[in-house]
Amino acid sequence: MTQIYCDIADIRTIKKYSKKKIVKGFTTNPSLMRKAGAKNYELYSREILKVCNNKPVSFEVFADDYKNILKQALKIKSWGRNVYVKIPVENSKGIFMGEVINVLSKNNIKMNITAVYTHDQTARILSKIKGKTKVIISIFAGRAGDVGKDPVPEIKKSLNMAKKYKNVKILWASVREPYNYLQASQLGCHIITIPPSIITKIEKFGKSFKNLTNETVKAFLNDSRKSKFKIN
């Protein structure tokens, strides 16, 4: 069964969604943190941890060099037992963060390796994982689709490679529509991280086509009446 994580950094929303049984964890990133209005990264993250109901939360490093990425990762890890440190597969210069992954895994620090697109990247990540450290590999399916790339073959191959690692989970990231949840489930993804608005739609799964037709027609009718449309 594919677990649903909520992709959000807004504290009020996290507090609300932490109470939902369907939501098993949370993912954040620097862009979501900025959108949520975070000023102090650590203090804001700690506030999230107070309201997340002890569910797993991923917080991302934002340094761009080995030394400072490692320093930030160790700091973030100290914020809570349910924290996963989010590490980009490469830095902004295109350098693979394999050594960071290797060091953190040796120290049993839970990681979420992000901005992954290909099974080749997955293979390189797996080669650097040591011991039984819990690792999530986030494959950006939606962003791949945005530029005309089919993410499914890459995810399939990544899942196949990850079978050997009981401590590694493949996550479908950058969701674009509710149907992505069904796709991720059919492929056997361990996790999918989803914006709140799409989780709300998934909670309504199961409606018949007849119900959908009726709702659609009623919506059109209501809007036409509100606008007082007439054809003389």
CATH of the domain at 171: 3.20.20.70
Residue with tokens 């349910």: 82
Task: Report d(CA 65, CA 30) in Å as an integer.
Answer: 16
Q: Is residue 99 part of a domain?
A: yes
Q: Is residue 225 part of a domain?
A: no
Q: Is residue 103 part of a domain?
A: yes
Which residues, 6 or more positions from 210, have their beta carbon under 8 angstroms from its beta carbon?
none
How many CB atoms are closer than 10 A to CB 195?
Answer: 15
Domain range enclosing 40: 3-204
Q: Is residue 42 part of a domain?
A: yes
Q: Is residue 19 part of a domain?
A: yes
Q: Is residue 172 part of a domain?
A: yes
Chunked mean pLDDT (size 10), the chain, 232 residues: 97 98 98 98 98 98 97 98 98 98 97 98 97 96 98 98 97 98 98 98 92 95 95 92
Q: Is residue 226 part of a domain?
A: no
Q: Domain count for the chain, please give it.
A: 1
Q: Is residue 220 part of a domain?
A: no
* Structure tokens that stand for 222 in this block: 């209501």
Question: Among residues 38, 40, 60, 47, which one has the least CA distance to residue 18?
Answer: 47
Q: How many residues are present in the chain?
A: 232
Q: What's phi and psi for 38, nearest 5 deg?
A: -65, 135
State the pLDDT at residue 102: 98
SS (H, E, C) 132-152: CCCEEEEEEHHHHHHCCCCCH
| β-pair partners for 193 | 5
State the pLDDT at residue 40: 98
